[in-house]
A and B are shown apart, each in its own frame.
Chain A
Amino acid sequence: MQKEHEVAMAADSIINWSLLSLSAPGWGGVLLQGFFNSIQIAVGGYALGLLLGVGGAFGKLYGGPVTRDLLECYTTIVRAVPELVLILLLYYAGTDLLNQLLGAVGFGTVDISGLIAGIFVIGVVQGAYSTEVLRGAIKAVPAGQIEAARAYGMSPGKVLRRVTLPAMLPYAIPGLANLWLIATKDTALLAVVGFSELTLMTRQAAGATKAYLLFFCAAGALYLALTLVSNIFIGALEKHARRGFVEQR
C-alpha cells in the first residue's frame, strides 16, 4: 500500500502543470523570457559568424600566404577545442580586453551586457565553422563561371557580388542551415558563464520548485520546436536555392 502511495505521489510531483503558467507563481514567463534571450543570441551570433565566415572563406581562398595561415590557425583552434572552453576564454578575455581598451582611452570600465558578450562569443565560434562551410561551397562553383566573369572585365568585388556568392549559395545552404541549428543549441553553453538563457532559467526554475523533469522537458520542447520550425524554413529555402539544378535520382 505504502509503495503505491509513494508512486502516486511521485507521479503527482512530476506533472503539476500550474508550475508552467505564465504569471507569477508559475515559471512559464521566466522560461519564455530565457527562450527569447537564447533566440536573440543565436540570431546575433549566427549573423556575426556569417560575416566572419564570408571574410574568412575569401581570405583563405584568395588571400596572401600570411592571411591564409593565420585563418588556418583560427579555424583549426576553434574546430579542435571544445566550445565550452572557447566560450569561457572568449567571455573573460573579450570583456577584459574591451575594458582595458576603454580604460586606456579614458572612458573607465563599463559593465558589458551578457547579451553582447554572448553574441560575440557565439559569433567567433560560428565564424570558424562558416568559414569552412563557405570555403567548401565556393570551391564547388565551377571555375569556368568565375573565369568567365573575370574575362568580361568585372572587378573582383563585382565578381563576388554577381557570380561567386549567388552561385555558391545552393552548395552552402545545407551546411549553413546546420550551423544555424548548432548556433541555437550552443547558446545553452552560455548557462555555464551565468547568462540567463533558456537552459539556465530552466535549471533555476527546476531547482526552486524541485519539479526537475517537468521543466527540463518543457525547455526541451521549446528547443525542439525551434529546430522543427527552422527545418520547415530550411526545406523551403533549399528547394528555392536548388531550382534549376538537375534533380538527382
Chain B
Amino acid sequence: MTDETTHALAFTPEDLPNGKSFLKPHRVALILIAVAVIVAVAVLMRWDWLPRYLPRLGWGILVSMVMLFSTSILGFLFAVPLGLVQVTGPWYLKGLARIFCTIIRGTPLLLQLWLLYYGLGSLFPQFPAIRQSFLWPYLREAWPYGVAALTISFAAYEGEVMRGAFAGVPAGELEAARAYGMSRWTMFRRIWLPRAIHRALPTLNGETVLQLKSTPLVATITVVDVYAVISKVRQETFLTYEPLLLLALIYLCLTGILVVAFRYFENRIPTRGA
C-alpha cells in the first residue's frame, strides 16, 4: 500500500487545519449550524442512560487503547524483520515473508480473527498437552486471539511499508557506514534502521490510525472494548442512534488525539530542507 493510499484511508497529521486561516465568515456560519445540530441532538434525543454507563465506557475506551498500542508495538517489532528479510534476506526467507504478507493482506481481518478464535480455539482443547500447560488459562480467554490477529495484520501491512523504507535508504549512506568500518549490526542499528523508520514515519502514522479503526472488530469475539459496551447499551435500552452516534464521536476524538500527538512528534524530528 502506498503512502497516498494510507493517507486516503486514514485521517493523518497533514489534514489538521492550520490556525492562521481557519476562521472565515462562511466557516463561522457553518460552525453555528453545527452547534445548533449538536444542541438539537442533545435536547431531542434520549441521553438519560449515559451516566449509568459512563464507568463501563471508560473501561471500554481503556481496553481499546491497550489493544491499539500493544498490537501496534508488537506488530512493528515483527514488521522490521519482515521488511528487512524481503530486502536483503536469502531467497527462502524472502519467499516466506512475501507469502505471509500476501495471505494476510489478501483476506479480511474479520475472517482472520474468527479463524484464530473459533478455529484454533476449538482445536486447542483437543490436545491434552495444551490443556495442561500454563498457557491454558489465557487461551480460554478471548483477548489473546484478538491481540494475535491484530498484531499479525499490523505486521503484514507494516512489513510492506518497512520493505519499501529499507530499500529506499540511499546506498551511499550504507557504503559510507561500511567505509567507516562499522560491522553489519552496528550499521543496521545506527544508520539503516533509523533512516528507514524516518522514511516510513508518515505512513506509520496512517497505519496506526487504520489500526485504531480495526480495533472494534475484537468486540465480535467477546472482548469488551468500547464498541462492545455500546452494543450492550443498544441491547439494554433498545436505542439505535444515540449509542452509535456517541461511539462515532468517541472514535473521532480518539483519532483526533492520536493525530495531534503524531504531529507533535513529527515536528520534533529534524528534517533537512523540504
Contacts and interface: CB of A to CB of B under 8 A. Distances in A.
Interface of A: 3, 6-7, 9-10, 13-14, 65-66, 69-70, 76-77, 79-86, 88-89, 92-93, 96, 129-130, 132-133, 136, 174-175, 178-179, 181-182, 185-189, 191-192, 199, 202-203, 206, 210, 212-213, 216-217, 219-220, 223-224, 227-228
Interface in B186-244: 209, 212-217, 220, 227, 240-241, 244
Interface stretch (B77-85, B123-131, B133-141, B264-272): B123-131
Nearest to B255: A80
A199 B111 contact: yes
B85 to A, nearest CB: 21
Contacts of B183: none
B9 interface: yes
Given A65-B26, A220-B107, A79 B10 contact: yes
B111 A216 contact: yes
B115 interface: yes
Nearest to A53: B8
A191 B5 CA distance: 25
Contacts of A212: 115, 118-119, 121-123
**8 cross-chain pairs, A with B, having the tightest CB-CB distances, nearest first:** A188-B108, A132-B8, A227-B106, A216-B115, A80-B255, A213-B119, A82-B213, A185-B108
Nearest to B34: A73
Q: Is the interface of B mostly helix, strand, loop or mixed?
A: helix
Contact of B114 (A10, A66, A216, A228): A216
A226 B9 CA distance: 21
Given A84-B216, A185-B107, A212-B122, A66 B30 contact: yes
B248 interface: yes
Contact of B8 (A84, A175, A216, A224): A175
A191 B27 CA distance: 39
B122 A192 contact: no
Q: Is the interface of A mostly helix, strand, loop or mixed?
A: helix
B18 interface: no
A125 to B, nearest CB: 10
Interface string B5-40: 101111100010000000010110010000000000
A85 B119 contact: no
A136 B111 contact: no
Given A84-B217, A178-B1, A206-B118, 10 more contacts: A10-B126, A79-B15, A80-B10, A89-B241, A174-B2, A175-B4, A188-B108, A220-B112, A224-B106, A227-B105
A52 to B, nearest CB: 13
B157 to A, nearest CB: 11
The interface centre, meaning the residue of B8, B115, B123 with most chain A CB atoms within 10 A of its CB, is: B8
B251 interface: yes
A199 B114 contact: yes
Contacts of A224: 102-103, 106-107
A55 B89 CA distance: 45
The interface centre, meaning the residue of B220, B227, B248 with most chain A CB atoms within 10 A of its CB, is: B248
B111 A213 contact: no
Contact of B7 (A3, A69, A132, A188): A132
Given A80-B11, A89-B248, A129-B9, A6 B127 contact: yes
